[in-house]
Amino acid sequence: MDQKSIPQKILEHVQKHAIKGNVSNVIDTIDNFCYKFEREAINVGDEKGKYLDEIVKSCSPKTALEIGAYAGYSALRISRALPADGKLYSIEYNEHHAEVTRKMIQYAGMDNKVTVLCGSSPDVIKSLTVSGFDFVFLDHTKELYKPDLLLLEECNLIHSGSVIAADNIVFPGCPEYLEYVRNSPKYECTTYMSKLEYSDREDGIEKAVYKKQT
């Protein structure tokens, strides 16, 4: 029986077939591989990925945070969309996935822009020494979206104008998070409806712009 994880299989395919140092080719290679062989992979994928790119480009973040790295796919998309001096921190709870992500980012030549931090999201958030984030992508345990956003607020790690993008708002869904950002006067929300990765199933990304109350 094949014991390799999906992220490990994706990484090995990339190392064999993608052009080293070419981030766009690595992204396309991952999508093609997953459409053909690994439809269960939980990369944000090419369909929602287009909206993710658009959201990142529209806010030109100098400092970005991602929670939930998996195989490094969204880290590649976000880092490609960052301005030249932009930096991405990617938090991943699973040590094996964090290692796959580090190797993926290195292969794509994006290691100067991305730092992978392994640990539980609340612990890593509390230990961060950066001054704050202009952009945050939530793509980890759905029940943690809301508490982790509240923690980012509490730790002053987001500021007026910070953009929060949340994946999987339909499937598997994150109702508590959506209820919070959509009803809070501190956030201005936009919904981007699309398709679940490598599937015809409906899913989307929620963009929430933080407006700190003074």
Note whether 139 binds Mg ion by CB under 5 A.
yes
Which lies closer to Mg ion via its Cβ, residue 131 or residue 191?
Answer: 191
197 is catalytic: yes
CA dist 77 → 53, 92, 144 (Å): 7, 16, 23
User: Taking Cα atoms as reference points, which of 11, 198, 2 lies closest to residue 97?
Assistant: 11
Shortest Å, Cβ 10 to Mg ion:
14
167 is catalytic: yes
40 is catalytic: no
Binding marks (x or -) toward Mg ion, 22..61, rule CB under 5 A? ----------------------------------------
Which lies closer to Mg ion via its Cβ, residue 29 or residue 168?
Answer: 168
Interface residue with Mg ion among 29, 90, 168, 194 (CB under 5 A) is 168
Shortest Å, Cβ 65 to Mg ion:
15
Interface residue with Mg ion among 167, 177, 204, 206 (CB under 5 A) is 167
Shortest Å, Cβ 84 to Mg ion:
27
Contact 92, 117 (CB under 8 A): yes
Which lies closer to Mg ion via its Cβ, residue 44 or residue 124?
Answer: 44
Among the listed residues 142, 148, 203, 206, the single catalytic one is 142
Which lies closer to Mg ion via its Cβ, residue 42 or residue 152?
Answer: 42
Among the listed residues 134, 197, 203, 206, the single catalytic one is 197
3-state secondary structure the chain: CCCCCHHHHHHHHHHHHCCCCCHHHHHHHHHHHHHHHCCCCCCCHHHHHHHHHHHHHHHCCCEEEEECCCCCHHHHHHHHHCCCCCEEEEEECCHHHHHHHHHHHHHCCCCCCEEEEECCHHHHHHHCCCCCEEEEEECCCHHHHHHHHHHHHHCCCEEEEEEEEECCHHHHHCHHHHHHHHHCCCEEEEEEEEECCCCCCEEEEEEEEECCCC
Among the listed residues 38, 167, 203, 206, the single catalytic one is 167
Which lies closer to Mg ion via its Cβ, residue 22 or residue 141?
Answer: 141
Shortest Å, Cβ 14 to Mg ion:
19
Q: Which residues are catalytic?
A: 139, 142, 167-168, 197
Residues that bind Mg ion (CB under 5 A): 139, 167-168
